[in-house]
A and B are shown apart, each in its own frame.
Chain A
Amino acid sequence: MNRTVFLKLNYIFVLIFIYLPIFLMVGLSFNESKYFNQWTGFTLQWYEQLFQNQNILNALYNSMIVATVSTFLSILFGFGIALYLFRVKNRFTSFVEKFIYVPIVIPDVTMAAMMLVFFIFLSNYLEIKLGIATTIISHTAFNISFVTVLIGSKLTRKLRVLEEVASDLYANHFQVIKQVTLPFVMPALLASVILSFVLSFDEVVISMFVTGPGSTTLPVYVFSMIKKGVTPAVNSVSSLMLIFSLILVTGVLLLSRKDNLK
Chain B
Amino acid sequence: MTRNKLNNILGLPGIIFLSIFFFTPSLFIFRYIFGSRTRTGKTSFDKIYFDSFSQLLDFNVVPIINKSVVTAFFVTLICFIVGYPFAYYIKKLSTTMKYFSLFLISIPFLTNFLSRTYSWKILVSKNGLITKYVSMFYDVSSLLFTDFAVVLGMVYVYLPFMILPIFTSLENIEDSLLESAKDLYANPFKAFYYVTFKLSLPGVIAGVVLTFIPSLGAYIIPQILGGSKSMYLGNFTVLQFIQASNWPLGSLVSLIILLFMVFAINLLFKFEGQRNL
Contacts and interface: CB of A to CB of B under 8 A. Distances in A.
Contact between chain A and chain B defined by CB under 8 Å: yes
Nearest to A37: B127
B234 A245 contact: no
B194 interface: no
A6 interface: yes
A25 B115 CA distance: 7
A121 B28 contact: yes
Main secondary structure of the interface of B (DSSP, over half): helix
Contacts of B101: 11
B105 interface: yes
Contacts of A73: 17
A240 to B, nearest CB: 10
Interface string B261-277: 11011100100000000
B15 A81 contact: yes
Contacts of B266: 98
B7 A83 contact: yes
Interface string A110-126: 10111101100100000
Nearest to B110: A245
A109 B219 CA distance: 8
Contact of A18 (B7, B125, B156, B247): B156
Interface band, chain B: 35 or more
Interface string A65-90: 00000000100111011011101100
Given A106-B261, A109-B219, A22 B107 contact: yes
A113 B28 CA distance: 9
Contacts of A153: 168
Interface string B198-226: 00000000000100010011011000100
Given A105-B261, A202-B113, A10 B85 contact: yes
B251 to A, nearest CB: 7
Given A14-B86, A202-B112, A249-B110, A110 B13 contact: no
Interface in A228-258: 230, 234-235, 237-239, 241-242, 245-246, 248-249, 253
B258 A106 contact: yes
A96 B108 CA distance: 32
A52 to B, nearest CB: 20
B3 A118 contact: no
Interface in B225-253: 233-234, 237-238, 241, 247, 250-251
A204 B114 contact: yes
Interface in B149-188: 156, 159, 168
A140 B110 CA distance: 19
A80 B114 contact: no
Contacts of B111: 22, 25, 238-239, 241-242, 245
Interface of B: 3-4, 6-8, 10-15, 17-18, 21-26, 28-29, 32, 82-83, 85-86, 88-90, 101, 103-116, 118-120, 122-123, 125, 127, 129, 156, 159, 168, 209, 213, 216-217, 219-220, 224, 233-234, 237-238, 241, 247, 250-251, 254, 257-258, 261-262, 264-266, 269
